[in-house]
Amino acid sequence: MHPGLFIVLEGIDGTGKSTQARRLGEWFEKQGREVMISREPTDGPWGKKLRESAATGRLSPQDELQYFLNDRRQHVEEKIAPALAAGKVVILDRYYFSTMAYQGARGFDPAEIRRMNEAFAPVPDLLLILDLDVDTAHDRIGHRGDSTNEFEKHESLTLCREIFLSLKDEPFVRVIDSNAPLDEVSERIRAAVEG
Ligand code: TYD
């Protein structure tokens, strides 16, 4: 247990997580709360390797999973746990639910990934899943689904979305329909947080 407030935003690429994380942070700051916003993969050594691999060729599934776990372990130890212990509002743009979804889509068992993470990573107080259908999300980040590669990506993002949505009935989870203007989505998020 900790005196802080731990909120995680998840969703497939193009759902607006980073913008909404920033806005939510500003909203808490206006109320006089101390806020720490962070993201995964992080800017630390493991996160850097992961971002580089997106450009230079994807890692093996096993290495990729291991790097995400290493990155998160460091993130928890060095940033998340101290901020929560200091009573801050911690807002994350992606966390281990992304590992369940994305590495789950690469063939690992999401339930097993969850167990591996919850062995060291604190469960958030609130998980907001920004939900959008894959085509709309894809259009927002400027991709067109017409090559074989894009087709595979579409398949894999569909599976990611399903894995995220499989969490919807857990008590700490709220699904936010993100097929709306930014301001409207921010409103929905604040309503979920106040609830
Ligand atoms: P993303 O938030 O899209 O980073 P950027 O702001 O640099 O675009 O994250 C990069 C990718 O990493 C994204 O496609 C999801 C993926 N990812 C995983 O596969 N597993 C994980 O555990 C995390 C945190 C992210």
Domains and CATH numbers, the chain: 5-194 (3.40.50.300)
Residue 144: per-residue pLDDT: 58
CB of 49 closer than 8 Å to CB of 67: yes
98 pocket-lining for ligand 1 (C-beta < 6 Å): yes
Model pLDDT for residues 6-28, shown as the tens digit of each residue: 999 999 999 999 999 999 999 99
99 pocket-lining for ligand 1 (C-beta < 6 Å): yes
Residue 148: per-residue pLDDT: 67
Residue 69: per-residue pLDDT: 98
**Backbone dihedral angles phi then psi of residue 187, each to the nearest 5 degrees:** -60, -45
Mean pLDDT of all residues belonging to the chain? 95
Residue 65: per-residue pLDDT: 97
Model pLDDT for residues 118-150, shown as the tens digit of each residue: 999 999 999 999 999 999 998 888 765 567 678
CB of 40 closer than 8 Å to CB of 95: yes
Residue 36: per-residue pLDDT: 98
40 pocket-lining for ligand 1 (C-beta < 6 Å): yes
Residue 17: per-residue pLDDT: 97
Distance 79 CA to ligand 1 centre (A): 19
Name residues whose C-beta falls within 8 Å of residue 191's C-beta, 6 or more positions apart in sequence. none
Looking from the CA of residue 94, the nearest atom of ligand 1 is 24
- Residue 58 pLDDT level (bands cut at 50, 70, 90): confident
Residue 143: per-residue pLDDT: 65
Find, among 44, 8, 36, the residue nearest to 130 by Cα.
Answer: 8
Residue 31: per-residue pLDDT: 96
